[in-house]
Amino acid sequence: MATSKYQGVILAAGQGSRMGPFGNRVPKPIAPICNKPLAAYQLDHFQALGIDEVFVVIGHLGHRISQTLGDGSRWGLTIQYVEQERALGLAHAVCQLEAEINRPFVLMLGDIFFEASQLDGMVREFEEEKAAAVLAVKRETDPEALHRNFSVVLDDAGCVRRVVEKPVRAAGVLKGCGVYLFDLAIFDAIRRTPRTALRDEYELTDSIQILIDYDLPVRAVRVIEWDMNVTFIGDLIACCRRQLRALGASELVGEDCDIATGAELVETVVGDRVTVGHPIRLERCVVLPDLVVAGDHDYSDRVFTEDGVFAASDAH
């Protein structure tokens, strides 16, 4: 029986169309980051927050997600799966949960890999400010990174005054990072949210702006140290390299692997049951499970999948 003050939500229904063939087989929320599904890191965060009831909204290849994450018992919590039958945006995905959510909830986007310091700071801000929403943000000076997420504008008192989805011109240097804490007022805001002309979807940022426009307190907390909106196959390399640093490791090799004597692995992650047949150098590479690296030359900045070898710069 759930006993925590907060519920957890992961939105995991996206299609990963820009991941190429990999995205047609593997949903982004279970893309491997250092041989661990992306969403498993989010469940770790929920566990650390004391949240014991999590809802995962699934769609594209949803059965793969439920098979991978299971019932949540590995994290000491329960997971329930709710299907979003039509991909109509993040606000629409959240709306699928209205019958299930009965108290404030922490929401994470299933394709965001992040490192956070004191994520419970969002909870403190929520309770101390009696907020309707708290947004996890970080300072971001890269316009492209802002364009892949949303920008957050504060007033002089530190309240959020405006949120802009995928801004063409950044309105500031605070970026929303796909982690939110909402009270139940968000559902009324979603009901008032129109479809956007640009993407024909119900945008969660529009729902947040409705909260703001109705003078409900929306706050932002800088708790995200690093984040990546996993969009392209090469983003797996950046995420794995970051996690290797967090682990204090220069390489990670999965179980039941056969690595040729003399092979060098530098900032490289090798999945389970992989064979590297020659004494080559793999630098900044990710090798997915059950593959044979048969080439006799060195590789750098590559992702090895069953559909082929892709450069970190490849965009699909």
Dihedral angle, C-alpha 179, 236, 288, 247, nearest 10 ° = -70
Q: Does 126 lie in the same domain as 205?
A: yes
DSSP string, 18-34: GGTHHHHHS-GGG-BSS
Q: Provide the residue count of the chain.
A: 316
Question: Considering just the CA atoms, what is the radius of gyration of the chain in Å?
Answer: 20
2 in a domain, yes or no? no
Q: Are strands 160-165 and 105-109 parallel, antiparallel or unpaired?
A: unpaired
pLDDT per residue rounded down to tens, the chain (316 residues):
556 899 999 999 988 888 988 989 999 999 999 999 999 999 999 999 999 999 999 998 999 999 999 999 999 999 999 999 888 999 999 999 999 999 999 999 999 999 998 999 999 999 999 999 999 999 998 888 888 788 999 998 889 999 998 888 777 889 999 999 999 999 999 999 998 756 778 999 999 999 999 999 999 999 999 999 999 999 999 999 999 999 999 999 999 999 999 999 999 999 999 999 999 999 999 999 999 999 899 999 999 999 999 998 865 4
- Residue 92's pLDDT is 95
Within a domain: residue 156? yes
The domain boundary, picked from 164, 199, 229, lies at: 229
Which of the 8 DSSP states describes residue 197?
T
**Do residues 214 and 281 share a domain?**
no
Chain-centroid distance of CA 126 in Å reads 22
pTM value?
Answer: 0.94
Q: Could you give the number of structural domains in the chain? A: 2
Alpha-carbon distance of 240 to 113, in angstroms, equals 10
Residue 141 tokens read as: 């000076």
Instruction: For residue 120, give every residue at least 6 positions away whose Cβ sits within 8 Å of its Cβ, in sequence order, or none.
Output: 48, 49
Residue 257 maps to a domain: yes
One-letter amino acid at 85 equals E
Choose the final residue of a domain: 194, 229, 264: 229
List the domain range (segments joined by +) for residue 300. 235-311
On whether both 176 and 265 belong to a single domain, the answer is no
Cβ-proximal residues to 90 (8 Å cutoff; 6+ apart), any chain: 11, 109, 201, 202, 203, 204
Q: Where among 186, 202, 229 does a domain terminate?
A: 229
Q: For residue 316, tell me if it sits in a domain.
A: no
Q: Kind of pairing, strands 150-154 and 160-165?
A: antiparallel
Beta bridge partners of 176: 137, 150
Q: Do 213 and 263 belong to one domain?
A: no
* Whether residue 260 sits in one domain with residue 182: no
- Per-residue confidence (pLDDT) for residue 316, from 0 to 100: 45
User: Position of tokens 């991941």?
Assistant: 19
Q: Do both 105 and 173 map to the same domain?
A: yes
Query: What CATH number is attached to the domain comprising 192?
Result: 3.90.550.10
Same structural domain, 180 and 283 = no
Residue 19 three-state SS:
helix
